[in-house]
Each structure stands twice: as structure tokens, then as C-alpha cells.
């Protein structure tokens, strides 16, 4: 059951950066924590979040017909919080969402065929500070069209995320 929200205001701000396949990724996003009041998940330490992000992809191959792309993503994320370890709390995340990219080609060889893409993300990190409301983590993300249309080069990148609370 989805939680009834008294406000649609996001709970936090996310800053991401990464690199893969000669492409640097810089993103900013918002997230909503605890979007599901699912007792069985909560009892296991799992929460459902929703993340919205805008990312700028900058290609590093020259010459290239297109050296940048804008990526707009929306991803539900399963977030597991571990036990407190001193002043930090470790967490794991996994999610699958939808992306819309501004161009279907970047660098010299990377083609996506469709503007609609799927994105899978995994994050390992820790929360710290007051009630562990700040988070930092290492991530891996794959974005591709899921073989809807060829070519489907996709993009896999590794990076980091830093999150701050808004409330």
C-alpha cells in the first residue's frame, strides 16, 4: 500500500557523478523516502524510495558527431538499512526505472536507437550525521533500451552519490 503523503515535497537532494565507456556523468536529483507503508518490508529493514534525476553525459571521444546527452530518469529503489556501526549505518540499494535521453548517439560509436531507456542501479554506502540523514555511496548503473530496437549499445558506469536531507 502506498503511503499517504501530507506533502509532495521531496525528502532529499542527491548529487551523483560517474564515468564509464568514455563518458562522464554529472547528475542532480530529488528523492522521496518511505513511499510504501509495507509492514513486511519495513520489518526487514527495507524501505521503498522514489528517485528523480537529471544528468548530463559528456563524451570524451574526439571527433564525435554528438558529445553530450541529457538524461531524465525516474526510479523506484529498494533501500535496505543495516544496523548502526558506531556513528554510521550501512545500506544497500537496488532499483529499475525509466530514462528519457535527449539524443540517441554519443561519442563516435555509442548508439541507443530510442530515446526511452531502462536503467538499473545498485548502490552500497552508509548514512551518517543526525539520525543518519546524510548518505554517501558507491554506485553502478546500466542504461539501455532493453533490446527494444538495435543498435542497443547501452552505457554502464561506476560512480558515487552524496545525499542531503531537505527536511
- Distance from C-alpha of 129 to C-alpha of 133, rounded to nearest angstrom: 6
Question: pLDDT tens digits for 90-127?
Answer: 999 999 999 999 999 999 889 899 999 999 999 999 99
**Domains of the chain by range and CATH?**
12-165 (2.40.160.20)
Q: Report residue 42's pLDDT band, with 50, 70 and 90 as the boundaries.
A: confident
Question: What percent of the chain stands above pLDDT 90?
Answer: 76
Claim: this prediction has a pTM higher than 0.75: yes
Rounded (10°) CA dihedral 55, 31, 75, 49: 160
- Distance from C-alpha of 41 to C-alpha of 47, rounded to nearest angstrom: 7
- Distance from C-alpha of 103 to C-alpha of 68, rounded to nearest angstrom: 8
Q: Report residue 5's pLDDT band, with 50, 70 and 90 as the boundaries.
A: very low
Q: What is the pLDDT of residue 38?
A: 84
Q: Is the pLDDT of residue 2 over 70?
A: no
Amino acid at each position: 500500500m502506498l503511503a499517504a503523503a501530507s506533502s509532495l515535497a521531496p525528502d532529499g537532494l542527491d548529487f551523483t557523478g560517474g564515468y564509464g565507456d568514455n563518458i562522464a556523468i554529472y547528475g542532480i536529483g530529488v528523492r522521496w523516502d518511505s513511499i510504501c507503508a509495507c509492514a513486511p518490508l519495513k520489518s526487514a529493514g527495507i524501505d521503498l524510495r522514489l528517485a528523480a534525476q537529471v544528468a548530463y553525459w559528456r563524451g570524451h571521444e574526439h571527433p564525435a558527431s554528438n558529445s553530450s546527452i541529457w538524461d531524465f530518469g525516474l526510479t523506484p529503489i529498494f533501500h535496505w538499512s543495516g544496523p548502526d556501526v558506531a556513528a554510521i549505518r550501512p545500506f544497500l540499494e537496488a532499483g529499475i526505472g525509466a530514462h528519457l535521453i535527449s539524443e540517441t548517439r554519443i561519442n563516435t560509436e555509442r548508439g541507443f536507437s530510442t530515446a526511452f531507456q531502462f536503467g538499473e542501479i545498485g548502490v552500497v554506502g552508509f548514512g551518517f550525521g543526525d539520525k543518519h540523514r546524510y548518505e554517501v555511496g558507491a554506485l553502478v548503473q546500466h542504461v539501455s533500451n532493453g533490446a527494444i530496437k538495435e543498435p542497443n549499445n547501452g552505457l554502464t558506469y561506476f560512480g558515487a552519490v552524496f545525499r542531503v536531507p531537505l527536511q
